[in-house]
Amino acid sequence: MKIPENEKTVDEAQDARPKKKRPDNVFFGVLTDINSTELVMKAKNGDEASIKLHERVKTICDGVACDREKIKPGQRIRVVTLKTDFTTATRIAALDKNSRFAPAV
């Protein structure tokens, strides 16, 4: 059976959807240093950024809640900051196992 050319297949229709834009308060990078009040991360372009940690920051390691001490320098991280203050982190997600986690740094 031949599909008429004017009808789009499911794959073509999915390609036509616009990609979702990443929120402005989400940052990807590699952890350089972390302590009780701040973290330092290196972005893809090589710039280092220092981000303060919120007093109730949530930490996730490979999809499971973990202590901040389990995140080690060199791990890829995703940091979510306050929407009103991009210098204060509310969530940190670190990942070693899943290669699709974040853009390669």
Mean pLDDT by 10 residues, the chain (105 residues): 56 64 88 94 91 94 89 92 93 79 49
Checking phi first, is residue 62 left (phi over 0); if not, alpha (psi -120 to 50) or beta? left
* CA 60 to chain centroid: 11
The pLDDT assigned to 21 comes to 79
pTM: 0.72
The pair of structure tokens assigned to 90 is 């509310």
DSSP state of 15: H
Give CA separation, 56 vs 11, 27, 77, in Å: 42, 18, 18
User: HSE-up of 101 (CA within 13 Å, CB side)?
Assistant: 22
Domains and CATH numbers, the chain: 21-95 (2.40.50.140)
